[in-house]
């Protein structure tokens, strides 16, 4: 997949997972929006003001989405596997477990973490990443161009 396709897959997957997290936040009455939680974490420890932290949180969230899309691309190319809803869901679940471990470490290391319902946050995070992986798989082009991003890594 070329850089443009990785970005499109990352943005699409990240947007859909974030919409899921935001919808669940509204239903459950807890903040599960990854970008907003990241913004709050940044705001509590950095010299950035609230608006700057919010922008940085959203940019970071989408940046991680592009990174996960790149990892999916690398896996597909190295294993000579076609994208599918099944391997997208599996990749999403694995990236969700990775993400939960990173978030857990971040919350434990942070000097003033926001009050987040961590047990349920981690559960929804894994489901949100499955949505991400499925969306990335659907976006992934059937006929890959000869020059792929992972071939240049």
- Total tally of structural domains belonging to the chain: 1
Rg, the chain, Cα only? 16
Q: Does some domain include residue 151?
A: no
Q: Is residue 18 part of a domain?
A: yes
pLDDT digits 0-9 by tens, 126-138: 999 999 999 999 9
Percent of all residues in the chain with a pLDDT value above 90, rounded to a whole number = 85
Token pair, residue 151, equals 């071939």
**Cβ(16)–Cβ(133) below 8 Å:** no
Q: Is residue 150 part of a domain?
A: no
pTM value is: 0.88
Phi, psi values for residue 33, rounded to 5°: -75, 110
Return the structure tokens found at 32.
């599960």
| Per-residue pLDDT tens over the stretch 94-122 | 999 999 999 999 999 999 999 999 999 99
Residue 59 falls inside a structural domain: yes
The whole domain housing 113 covers: 3-143
CA distance 88 to 65: 14
Q: Is position 148 within any domain? A: no
Look-up: residue for tokens 């290391």? 109
Q: What does the pLDDT look like over 25-81, one tens digit per residue?
A: 999 999 999 999 999 999 999 999 999 999 999 999 999 999 999 999 999 999 999
């Amino acid at each position: 997949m070329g850089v443009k396709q990785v970005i499109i897959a990352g943005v699409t997957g990240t947007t859909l997972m974030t919409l899921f997290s935001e919808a669940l936040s509204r239903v459950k009455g807890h903040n599960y929006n990854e970008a907003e939680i990241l913004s709050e974490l940044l705001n509590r420890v950095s010299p950035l003001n609230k608006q700057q932290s919010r922008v940085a949180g959203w940019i970071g969230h989408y940046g991680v989405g592009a990174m996960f899309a790149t990892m999916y691309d690398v896996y597909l190319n190295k294993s000579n596997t076609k994208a599918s809803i099944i391997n997208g869901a599996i990749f999403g679940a694995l990236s969700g477990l990775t993400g939960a471990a990173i978030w857990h470490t971040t919350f434990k290391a942070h000097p003033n973490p926001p009050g987040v319902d961590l047990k349920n946050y981690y559960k929804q995070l894994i489901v949100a990443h499955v949505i991400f992986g499925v969306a990335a798989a659907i976006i992934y082009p059937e006929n890959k161009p000869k020059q792929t991003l992972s071939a240049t890594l």
